[in-house]
Amino acid sequence: MAKSLRDLEGYYMTDHRHAAPVPEDLLHRSGLPPAAGRGLFEAPTYTCKHCQRIVVMNPDRSRERTFCRGCNHLICDECAAVKAVTLRCKTFDQVLDEQITAALLQQSTGG
């Protein structure tokens, strides 16, 4: 079990020191901060427990990240918006379990 959120971090690095900068609109669509397309960029990452999206943590971000107390993990902004509406923690593992259970139930009833 992880002792801190840092134990759950990954690592992302791009090196554009000898290449043309990546257009900012492409970086934005990819979910990367503008600095990732110029020079050497390094940042920690985390995997959203709700959707399994890998999030590159923008070092210039001023907003606090959402920590879900239901699963004790950081979650991405999209899942945080869903949780703000539903007030429910639903991890990716729970979604898979529900789908597998439904498929097995359908299979056992001949549907």
Q: In terms of Cα–Cα distance, which of 108, 100, 74, 102 is closest to 89?
A: 74
pTM of the prediction? 0.78
Mean pLDDT score of the chain: 90
Positions in the chain short of pLDDT 50: none
Q: Output the pLDDT for position 1.
A: 57
Tokens of 8: 């759950």
Domain extent for 104: 5-108
Which letter does DSSP use for residue 35 in this model? Answer: G
Q: Output the pLDDT for position 11.
A: 94
Q: What is the tally of structural domains in the chain?
A: 1
Report pLDDT digits (tens) over 33-65: 888 888 899 999 999 999 999 999 988 889 999
Q: In terms of Cα–Cα distance, which of 72, 78, 87 is closest to 53?
A: 78
Q: Output the pLDDT for position 65.
A: 94
